Amino acid sequence: MPHLGKLEAAVMDVLWSTNAPLTVREVLERMPPQRNLAYTTVMTVLGNLLRKGLLEREPVGRAFSYRPTVTRQGAAAASLREILDASEDPRLVLLHFAETATDEESSVLREALARRATTS
């Protein structure tokens, strides 16, 4: 998963928050007003995200609509995988995370690992 800049993350947030593909204009209209972005800026960001493989697009009249190719959760998991892969000792990263995980997070991890063990 490629790293996202702040504006890319904001655009992905807009796309993840809807269940329908959006045009450049629709993304721009849903961006926080304090951003005060130009249409061409949003178009460029969408193009960058498309090239990174995070979006797909389809023609809609004379424009394109964009939709994510990965869920928000999938993107977060891919970011964690990237961190682990880049770490000198991924075990230490996982151990530190386990020590800081909430009881609920620990429970979810235990359940997922148990399911994985039974399907392997």
Residue 2: its pLDDT value, please?
A: 65
| In-domain check, residue 23 | yes
Residue 112: its pLDDT value, please?
A: 92
Residue 54: its pLDDT value, please?
A: 95
| 43 three-class SS | helix
Residue 119: its pLDDT value, please?
A: 86
Query: The pTM is what?
Result: 0.81
CB atoms within 10 A of CB 54: 22
Q: Are residues 49 and 93 both part of a single domain?
A: no
Residue ranges of the chain with pLDDT lower than 70? 1-2
| In-domain check, residue 37 | yes
Residue 1: its pLDDT value, please?
A: 59
| In-domain check, residue 62 | yes
Q: Are residues 31 and 64 both part of a single domain?
A: yes
Note down the domain range covering 22. 6-68
Residue 3: its pLDDT value, please?
A: 79
| In-domain check, residue 81 | no
The string of DSSP codes covering 47-74 is HHHHHTTSEEEEEETTEEEEEESS-HHH
What the block records as the tokens of 87 is 């770490």
As for how many domains the chain has, the answer is: 2
